[in-house]
Amino acid sequence: MRLPFVLCTLAFAALSAAMSGCDSHAASANTNASTQPAAPGAAPQAQTRAEVFAHVKQMTSLGEKLFFDPSLSGSGKLACASCHSPGHAFGPPNALSVQLGGNDMHRPGFRAVPSLRYLQSVPAFTRHFHDSDDEGDESVDAGPTGGLTWDGRVDHGADQARIPLLSTFEMGSTPARVAAAVKASPYADDFRKAFGGSVFDSDDKTFAAVLQSLEAFEQTPAQFYPYTSKFDAFLAGRAKLNDAEMHGLQLFNDENKGNCASCHISQRAKDGSPPQFSDFGLIALGVPRNRALPINKNPKFHDLGACGPERTDLKGQDEYCGIFRTPSLRNVATRKTFFHNGIYHKLDDVVRFYVERDTNPEKFYPVSKQGVVEKFDDLPKRYWANINTDPPFDRKKGDKPALDEAEIRDVVAFLNTLTDGYDPAKDKDSQKGIGIGEVKSASN
């Protein structure tokens, strides 16, 4: 079992990664180099800790302004926050499978908007992941793991931010347009203060500073990894889970039932850091084709995840086709669209897919006139060997599903405990149910 990376500290991980020499993997995917003081036009190297701290703080505050600023986009109408809604854990603001963008605001994307919370512990992409937390055996290769976006194609927040800014179906902008917007913005002076006067010398310099600021903002603990869910309160002994939630947790963990925790890890890491509800592995689940997506009107189009089309470095390597990064399930109940192609809109439908994909495939895939189920209809047959067959996907047609309807409801009740912003003091039922001290298996 893979466990998530270590956090240096919950307080200002970006900063501590830059300052404290904390060499854990917390300085991973998006806490790396670019939060360090070597910013374009920044002051010379020998900075004191206080100066580094001040610089990160300035970048963070600028990043927040940029994140909410639609003037960076080609249409002038789309901000990062339009798709990554702060009220929805920085996930989609609505139930659309994919959002609209581009210069006319009518161009659909083809992937669901992921939450931007808890990305601080996503490791850099690797084809062969060896986890020191893996039951004492580091020789186990857990396969392709990590990286940002559904296909893991970039490792740093700054590189990632470039994608939506320049994508023709997202913000549809250019470095020149972004630079002009920043120069004309009310925060232009703050930009000079943070990066030095030369930041406006060239569009490329300004653009690089924009990307770094966005990355710094995405690492603000209070907004991006607050750990304030009911489940966190439960782990800390400050709340109890009711019967449905506790039963749901057990089903989530049980290898013979949901077996969800084998990928969406629910236990603390060995160093005691909180569970991330993902091992960040890239996995093929054989999610059905979302026929509502305009791009899927073309029968030849397939979103193959790590082997393309968005990602290009693994193109033509069959073993990477159809795999997508396991998302964290923290705040999943704030979403109304699920899986990389946004095919489902209710959590119980997602859980039902897991437990009935193989026992009742006709519920999820098209059935031909002859009554043949077109299973895995979004993945060409030559890649089917990649599709996961671990429990609960280890059954065959007609078998009993791993969870019944009542159990699916309980798993969903448990998933609802993963939403940030829970306050035990405001929940009169917070002390009703089962506390962490009373369970052995729920957590350790």
Q: Could you say which of 195, 224, 234, 324 contacts ligand HEC (CB under 6 A)?
A: 324
340 binds ligand HEC (CB under 6 A): yes
Q: Which stretch binds ligand HEC (CB under 6 A): 54-62, 186-194, 348-356, 371-379?
A: 348-356
Closest contact distance (angstroms) between CB of 17 and ligand HEC is 17
Q: Which stretch binds ligand HEC (CB under 6 A): 46-54, 163-171, 228-236, 356-364?
A: 163-171
Closest contact distance (angstroms) between CB of 412 and ligand HEC is 8
33-72 binders of ligand HEC (CB under 6 A): none
Closest contact distance (angstroms) between CB of 391 and ligand HEC is 7
Q: Could you say which of 285, 304, 307, 321 contacts ligand HEC (CB under 6 A)?
A: 285
94-113 binders of ligand HEC (CB under 6 A): 99, 101, 109, 111, 113
Radius of gyration of the chain (CA): 22
293-322 binders of ligand HEC (CB under 6 A): 310
List Cβ neighbours of 290 (8 Å cut-off, separation of 6 or more). Answer: 97, 296, 341, 342, 343, 378
Q: Could you say which of 2, 55, 177, 264 contacts ligand HEC (CB under 6 A)?
A: 264
Question: Cα–Cα distance between 233 and 174 in angstroms, integer?
Answer: 44
66-95 binders of ligand HEC (CB under 6 A): 78, 80, 82-84
Residue 329 or residue 430: which is nearer to ligand HEC going by CB?
329
Q: Tell me if 10 sits within 8 A of 221, measured CB to CB.
A: yes
227 binds ligand HEC (CB under 6 A): no
108, with CB counted inside 10 A (0-12, 13-18, 19+), is middle
Q: Which stretch binds ligand HEC (CB under 6 A): 17-25, 290-298, 329-337, 421-429?
A: 329-337
Question: Cα–Cα distance between 30 and 121 in angstroms, integer?
Answer: 8
Closest contact distance (angstroms) between CB of 74 and ligand HEC is 11
Q: Tell me if 266 sits within 8 A of 414, measured CB to CB.
A: no
Residue 234 or residue 414: which is nearer to ligand HEC going by CB?
414
184: left (phi over 0), alpha (psi -120 to 50) or beta: alpha
327 binds ligand HEC (CB under 6 A): yes
413 binds ligand HEC (CB under 6 A): no
Question: Cα–Cα distance between 250 and 268 in angstroms, integer?
Answer: 16
Residue 335 or residue 395: which is nearer to ligand HEC going by CB?
335
Q: Could you say which of 138, 271, 390, 423 contacts ligand HEC (CB under 6 A)?
A: 390
Residue 6 or residue 80: which is nearer to ligand HEC going by CB?
80
Question: Cα–Cα distance between 21 and 35 in angstroms, integer?
Answer: 13
Q: Could you say which of 18, 124, 216, 411 contacts ligand HEC (CB under 6 A)?
A: 411
Backbone angles phi, psi at 211, to 5 degrees: -65, -40
117, with CB counted inside 10 A (0-12, 13-18, 19+), is buried
Q: Tell me if 150 sits within 8 A of 340, measured CB to CB.
A: yes
Residue 80 or residue 241: which is nearer to ligand HEC going by CB?
80
List Cβ neighbours of 229 (8 Å cut-off, separation of 6 or more). Answer: 330, 331, 417, 418, 419, 420, 421, 422
Closest contact distance (angstroms) between CB of 155 and ligand HEC is 10
**Token pair of 91, please?**
């996930």
- Residue 393: CB atoms within 10 Å: 17
Residue 191 or residue 354: which is nearer to ligand HEC going by CB?
354
Q: Which residues pair with 101 in a beta bridge?
A: 107
Q: Which stretch binds ligand HEC (CB under 6 A): 15-23, 130-138, 180-188, 326-334?
A: 326-334
Closest contact distance (angstroms) between CB of 39 and ligand HEC is 17
**Between the CA of residue 334 and those of 22, 229, 251, 342, what are the distances in Å?**
33, 12, 21, 14
336 binds ligand HEC (CB under 6 A): no
Q: Which residues pair with 373 in a beta bridge?
A: 367
Give the residues lining the site for ligand HEC (CB under 6 A): 78, 80, 82-84, 99, 101, 109, 111, 113-114, 116, 119, 148-151, 157, 160-161, 164-165, 170-171, 214, 218, 258-260, 262-264, 283, 285, 287, 310, 324, 326-327, 329, 332, 335, 338-340, 347, 350-351, 354, 388, 390, 392, 411
